[in-house]
Chains A and B, each alone.
Chain A
């Protein structure tokens, strides 16, 4: 029996755990007792983090498509085919006909390398990853107000805060050890406001549960700010010392009286006033949000409103406060930090800045790097349909199931001249590929993940990858070498991290030696920098905190006679995204076996729908049949469907309309009809 300390591969909470192995096989999990987040606990996914790793469905050799079928191939052949395929597209259609999709499941080192591969070897900024689908609006919105797009505070701040405002986060299910810490805070006396129209578990413990209409967050938050300003509850000294642009904010929220807010949100004016007074009255208040804020066609506006509220009440830059976006994936923070983004290199250094470009070009060797920002993932699908993107390299993502409007995504991927998918299982997306490259999973390689609280932590190799599978970083290096590009020979991930540290100010002080045992929180710019648990303490990254006024826009698609229900999508506690890992984990799979739709009892009765009966849910884009789950968690008129299940794919229904600034899709609201399926 061997126990190896590593990071849980599921959510962004960043729990560390010990994988128990015996004879080269994983046989169990033990939590770390001393880690500041896990503290001897784990959620059900963490306790089962070992269970998918040796699944017989794992990919064990490269696959190359021949006569329409994927057949096993050697690495030499597969690498040659991939490089020739990508180069071919580049030669025929130019570098920007290629798209690289990186992965929030992969390590920092691997994200960095894929970003380097795209920019250095294939001369395109068309690189992105699934942060586009979850927190791209956070990066845009918070950078606008604070100068940095990350969670401002630390998870431990929950122990000291006076009030927690959870908006658009089902925390106990999606970040369970943060959710449970919120529950613990509420039990010790911290006030809890939950704004979510589903009656999530945290709502049962809240002082105030606001069930505002989906997509009316801007109205709710603007109205709360109107109350705070008009009742003189603003933190004046903070506003004067630390912020700018206040007059424009005051002007923009002035018309958002509680009555007007109530009319848009479906709340009562009293509820809005109560929320505003509670929030502004707290000596310290934390805003916690997730996909319920970001996944809207006005996601950036939602984020700005959260930031504005925190600035108005002086809740930034100190313990127990802050704007705290909870990052979904284990390493989605790192994916962003590493510059797997179309407009940034690692450390959010702009590709448009000639000095930055020169810095990277000089270090990487070679000629000029591309200057124009690339395409976001969500727009790349459109571009593929239009024939502007011809080749795509996807590492560890399953867009066929995770992108909005599945039909659209399938058509786009099928239209590509060349598709490479680097994966641990043959996912729905990998089945469409011309070449499939088998990769190592988190337990089979070294590297680092960066958690939602900016904590960079070591991932350790416990067992060998199956068959011929290789770590993503090894595959990317081999591709670069085969393409004839130098600068991709590394002894191991720690050497890649050393390069990252040189080029990335926030990671400047990070070395593998310093990361044991429980990591460092960036910014950590020098070898003796202890890291930064709380951002913006003395000043904001951009100097002054900038109020960023927001005009309310309704969601892109609202219910009508033909599609009278609001559909909102999300995840369940036991499954992770497209289920690639969790549906291959016995206990998790047993817990949620099949797709379902949550429907309020009043609606179900009206439609003659009984528990577990099949229901047909239809939108303008598609139709699925899922089992009815009758529940008061959703209010009347609202349906909820998780997006994990290929056999009842919520994303056949969702609306591929994007936020104009961040290009995040509106996963959280579209109009559907529902009926009993005979």
Chain B
């Protein structure tokens, strides 16, 4: 365990820049927080989860697949320096572990692991949520954990790479300090976890009528934001550009909320209605991924609820779903 002040932590990040491409929460000129580098703005470790998905560090909005020029095909190079990414909450890490599994599943997605392979991941937990609220400790999925309290920062290493990166830092000397985090983490409860399992059960039992999805579909303006900010959304589209100098093929974040997402060249569309697409967005996380991967792939990070301009992020939809269709009377009637 290491103990650092704000200034020492900043110094640590600066030192890391020698060997790593450091990305961490920063504040942009208008107050928007994002995953940036030290020169982009002041560090903003406080404030909880970032509006954009931190998993975007490994699966960015756009990335090159290859370039083809005069019969030579060039694959993108791995990053010059490995990535150091700080700013994951425990929920973000759960998301990261999920998509790590997803992209590693045979056949392994080399584009993702090109960035992910040697990256160092740091969680930010403790009293650093919005308004000083507590964010649960976590050791799963990160190399390092930065814990915030009123005295500053504790650093815990959860992997050998994390230990190596931090070995020069001053040791923390107060074991009681860490225990406060452990106790606070243990006492954290979250009503939304219950909601999640209730909603998943409703979907699994097929108790949510199509009329519900029609209503949700009516309220969706198809901005695609829910998918684009979701740390476990992995769908992508592929596009080619051809020019005199050759062809560039990239992949980009895609959205199952778009009508064209599944439409086939002949016109048939298995997701041919707004209701089906709204259902897919929620069902996929709560039921389909549970079937395929053994876990629900929504970790309640709250990003889709924050970005949705019409209030139909996944937590809002789950609340409505459970309130309207989750009553015991409903279940008995089946």
Contact = CB atoms under 8 A, between A and B. Distances in A.
B74 to A, nearest CB: 15
A236 interface: no
Contacts of A454: none
A517 B27 CA distance: 13
Given A31-B51, A40-B51, A55-B241, A176 B223 contact: yes
Interface in B136-185: none
A181 interface: yes
A177 to B, nearest CB: 6
Interface in B199-255: 218-219, 221-225, 228, 237, 239, 241-244, 252, 254-255
Contacts of B34: 3, 18, 30
Nearest to B309: A180
A27 B60 CA distance: 8
B130 interface: no
A5 B31 CA distance: 11
B36 interface: yes
A587 B254 contact: yes
Nearest to A573: B222
Interface in A573-599: 573, 586-587, 590-591, 593
A591 B37 CA distance: 35
Nearest to B219: A183
A204 B220 CA distance: 12
B78 to A, nearest CB: 15
Interface in A159-200: 172-173, 176-177, 179-181, 183-184, 187
Interface in A505-529: 516-518
Contact of B61 (A27, A173, A516): A27
Contacts of A204: 218
A587 B239 CA distance: 9
Nearest to A188: B311
Contacts of B310: 180, 183-184
A492 to B, nearest CB: 19
Contacts of B237: 586-587, 590
A152 B31 CA distance: 28
A587 B40 CA distance: 29
A34 B307 contact: no
Interface residues of B, number: 44
Contacts of B254: 587
A29 B60 CA distance: 11
A517 B29 contact: yes
A41 B258 contact: no
B187 interface: no
B188 interface: no
Q: Of A173, A516, A590, which is in contact with the most chain B CB atoms at under 10 Å from its CB?
A: A590
A586 B252 contact: yes
Given A44-B224, A56-B242, A612 B267 contact: yes
Interface in A1-15: 1-3, 5
Nearest to A28: B61
A30 B26 CA distance: 14
A591 B260 contact: yes
A180 B255 CA distance: 19
A379 interface: no
Nearest to A518: B30
Nearest to A43: B223
A388 interface: no
**What secondary structure prevails in chain B residues at the interface with A?**
loop
A179 B223 CA distance: 12
Contacts of B52: 30
A20 interface: yes
Contacts of A32: 30, 32
B81 to A, nearest CB: 13
Interface string B45-77: 000000110000000111100000000000000
A256 B310 CA distance: 38
B1 interface: no
Contacts of B62: 27-28, 50-51
A513 to B, nearest CB: 13
Q: Of B29, B32, B224, B307, which is in contact with the most chain A CB atoms at under 10 Å from its CB?
A: B32
Contacts of A1: 23, 36-37, 40
B33 interface: yes
Contact of B309 (A29, A33, A51, A181): A181
B267 A28 contact: no
B61 A180 contact: no
B300 interface: no
A451 to B, nearest CB: 16
Nearest to A54: B241
Contacts of A20: 61
B309 to A, nearest CB: 4
B30 A16 contact: yes
Interface in A33-90: 33-35, 40-44, 46-47, 50-51, 54-56
A346 to B, nearest CB: 28
A210 B258 CA distance: 29
Contacts of A2: 40
A177 B32 contact: no
B153 to A, nearest CB: 25
A205 interface: yes
A517 B30 contact: yes
Given A3-B40, A181-B309, A184-B310, A35 B30 contact: yes
A622 B28 CA distance: 52
B40 A56 contact: no
Interface in B310-326: 310-311
B308 interface: yes
B17 interface: no
B306 interface: yes
A664 to B, nearest CB: 28
Nearest to A56: B243
20 contacts: A5-B28, A18-B34, A30-B34, A30-B51, A31-B307, A33-B31, A35-B30, A40-B306, A42-B223, A44-B224, A44-B255, A47-B224, A51-B252, A179-B221, A180-B310, A183-B310, A187-B311, A205-B218, A587-B254, A590-B260
Interface of A: 1-3, 5, 16, 18, 20, 27-35, 40-44, 46-47, 50-51, 54-56, 172-173, 176-177, 179-181, 183-184, 187, 201, 204-205, 516-518, 573, 586-587, 590-591, 593, 612
Given A590-B237, A591-B259, 9 more contacts: A27-B62, A42-B223, A46-B223, A47-B228, A56-B241, A184-B309, A187-B311, A517-B30, A591-B260
Top 9 nearest A-B pairs (CB, nearest first) are: A56-B243, A28-B61, A180-B309, A517-B30, A586-B239, A590-B260, A41-B309, A34-B31, A33-B32
